[in-house]
Amino acid sequence: MPKKEVIVKCYVDSCQYWDQNNLCAADTIEVDNQRVNPNMEIGTLGEGYNEAKTSKSTYCRTFKPKKA
């Protein structure tokens, strides 16, 4: 069976793998449901945050902050 091309959209522009047109350029992606707070939706940032700084903020273990 031929391998199907997978396109992953990502809007976390603070990630090293974020690419044009909101595409993820990582070779592989690992996602987890790391529960921080049971009242918090998976993947949401805490109040006052507007940019992910760690993988825990995105629930994507592949996340790496962009280098400055």
Quick check: pTM over 0.75?
Answer: no
pLDDT, tens digit (0-9, with 9 covering 90-100), for 7-31: 889 888 889 999 999 999 999 988 7
Q: How many helices (DSSP H) and strands (DSSP E) are in the chain?
A: 1, 2
What CA–CA distance (Å, rounded) separates 27 from 8? 11
What CA–CA distance (Å, rounded) separates 17 from 22? 10
Domain count of the chain?
1
Which residue matches tokens 């396109």?
7
pLDDT, tens digit (0-9, with 9 covering 90-100), for 25-36: 999 988 776 555
Contact by Cβ (8 Å): 64, 57: no
Domain that holds residue 41: 1-68
Q: From the CA atom positions of the chain, what is the Rg in Å?
A: 13
